[in-house]
Amino acid sequence: MSATIGRWQGASLLATTLLGTGVFILPQLTAAAAGEQALIAWLLLTLAIIPVAIVFAALAGRYPHAGGPAYFVEQAFGATAGRTIGLIFLLVVPLGMPAALLMGYEFIHALHAFEGNSPLYIQLAAIVLLFALNWPGLQLSAKFQMALTLAMVAVVLFMLVMSGAMESQTQMTPSGLADFGGGGVMAALAIAFWSFLGLEAMTHLAAEFKSPREDMKLAMIGGTVLVGGLYLACTWLVLAYPNDESLAMVGILQSLLGGFGQWIICILGLASSLATVNVYCAGTSRLIASFSEQGVLPALLKQRNRHEVPALAMAILLSLSALVTAAVHWWHIDLESLVVWVNGVFVIIYMSAMIAAVRLLPRGYLTPVVLALGFCLLMAWSLAGDMMYGVVITIGVALALHLRGRSKTNIASI
């Protein structure tokens, strides 16, 4: 397989994965929850997530494999543990993709309110587009997402620069930020945390980096810091220039550019949501192919096209996502339920990878590993009962693999 991704393309892939639809939505939600203390929340979250990024980058650099966290756990604790993590990831991605597409559709809805089944058709068309983007391999999509990241950074910087020429309507004061209250910050953190779910997606693509050990660390840390900086900047803009638009960032840019502002925000928001799903599609299809090569899944799924892309695995993954998308539309499934179930599974995946890092990484990484583990435990505690979906499917998959292993052992002994 040819390695085509460099450190800057990798940072762009990660940045667009983490930004998703959130960069133009989450800042106003955190501001509503915590006021000026939302700035403190975003700063703390960015600092807290860096150890997780460092550990994932170190693991991926030393063990570049399409299995990502599942492969790390397997190297540390054996095949059953690793395959359990990989399979629960496979089970949750077809739920996460429709959720991301639904959030991306909100930007289309801001431009025009479609009725009937039209929203479903638009989301299914997006899935077809994802297949076309991934068919020639990640080099094309990495370049596209690098351009998208630069465009989003340019828009936010433009708004910051132009805001200096506007008369601020804010009531922000130094004393407001100094009046630190843990409740407000925790409320904002609970919302802001979802913006950083997706770090693990890059580890599935480590083998496609030109130099995994050197480039992964710079790509993941650089992408994380860039994302945190953009969220901080957008949150400051929302606080400094309040408006009555349903999407506050649209109102700010409209005040600078008129009607063009709405189009710019909505197009970038929609493209970014597609980019998020794109990286998960690429990483998960390679994980499916990896399990196929190991004999965990049918051998048919390891087939690759002339671009070395596991096309059949990708087609099945996107088909399942399309079915879930249709079910969500027809049965009016609550988006929030999908999101919290998905997040609970990802907390288990993150925590398992951090525990594996204790065995796999040199002692020099002990400090970031401990900090990352503490962060994962805090997130598990905050999710509380919503962790049950992840816990149940993890136990179920582990038991199924254990029983399958015993069955093979019994047959072999006959």
- Per-domain boundaries in the chain: 7-163+178-408
- Dmax (CA) of the chain: 83
Across the range 243-252, mean pLDDT stands at 78
Residue with tokens 């499934």: 333
* CA dihedral for 370, 43, 215, 317, sign (positive or negative): positive
* CA dihedral for 307, 313, 317, 322, sign (positive or negative): positive
Low-confidence winner among 44-48, 221-225, 336-340, 341-345 (lowest mean pLDDT): 336-340
Residue with tokens 């019994």: 410
Q: What is the pTM of this model?
A: 0.74
User: What span, in angstroms and rounded, lies between the C-alpha atoms of 381 and 48?
Assistant: 16
**% residues pLDDT > 90 (the chain):** 9
With H, G, I as helix, E, B as strand and everything else as coil, classify residue 216: helix
8 Å CB contact between 169 and 242: yes
User: What span, in angstroms and rounded, lies between the C-alpha atoms of 60 and 54?
Assistant: 10
| CATH number for the segment(s) 7-163+178-408 | 1.20.1740.10
Q: Which of 305-309's residues contact partners 24+ apart within 8 Å by CB, and which partners?
A: 305/135, 307/135, 307/136, 307/137, 308/1, 308/2, 308/137, 309/134, 309/135, 309/136, 309/137, 309/285
8 Å CB contact between 162 and 256: yes
pLDDT band at residue 412 using 50, 70 and 90 as cut-offs = very low
Tell me the range of 240-254, 308-322, 364-378 where mean pLDDT is highest: 364-378
* Structure tokens, 332: 């009016």
Across the range 59-82, mean pLDDT stands at 85
pLDDT band at residue 360 using 50, 70 and 90 as cut-offs = very high
pLDDT at 111: 75
Angle between helices 366-383 and 38-62 (to 10 degrees): 130
Find residue 209's DSSP bridge partners.
5
DSSP per-residue codes, 43-106: HHHHHHHHHHHHHHHHHHHHS--TTTHHHHHHHHH-HHHHHHHHHHHHHHHHHHHHHHHHHHHH
Query: Could you tell me what percentage of the chain is helix, strand and coil, using 3-state DSSP and rounding each to the nearest 5?
Result: 85, 0, 15
8 Å CB contact between 220 and 209: no
8 Å CB contact between 266 and 259: no
8 Å CB contact between 195 and 20: yes
User: What span, in angstroms and rounded, lies between the C-alpha atoms of 105 and 300?
Assistant: 34
**157 alpha-carbon distance from chain centroid:** 23
8 Å CB contact between 104 and 25: no
Q: Specify the DSSP class assigned to residue 351.
A: H
Backbone angles phi, psi at 5, to 5 degrees: -95, 130
* Structure tokens, 282: 């690429």
Is it the case that residue 128 has pLDDT exceeding 90?
no
pLDDT band at residue 12 using 50, 70 and 90 as cut-offs = low
Find residue 5's DSSP bridge partners.
209
Position 378, amino acid: L
Q: Which of 291-299's residues contact partners 24+ apart within 8 Å by CB, and which partners?
A: 291/67, 291/83, 291/86, 291/87, 291/90, 294/83, 296/83, 296/86, 296/87
User: What span, in angstroms and rounded, lies between the C-alpha atoms of 31 and 41?
Assistant: 10
Choose among 5, 4, 2, 14: nearest CA to 280: 14
Position 25, amino acid: I
pLDDT at 57: 85
Which residue did the predictor score with more confidence, 11 or 368? Answer: 368
How many other CB atoms are there within 10 angstroms of residue 300's CB atom? Answer: 10
Choose among 254, 316, 286: nearest CA to 111: 254
pLDDT tens digits along 260-293: 777 888 888 887 777 777 777 777 787 788 778 8
pLDDT at 358: 94
DSSP E strand stretches across 250-401: none
pLDDT at 222: 80
8 Å CB contact between 261 and 294: no
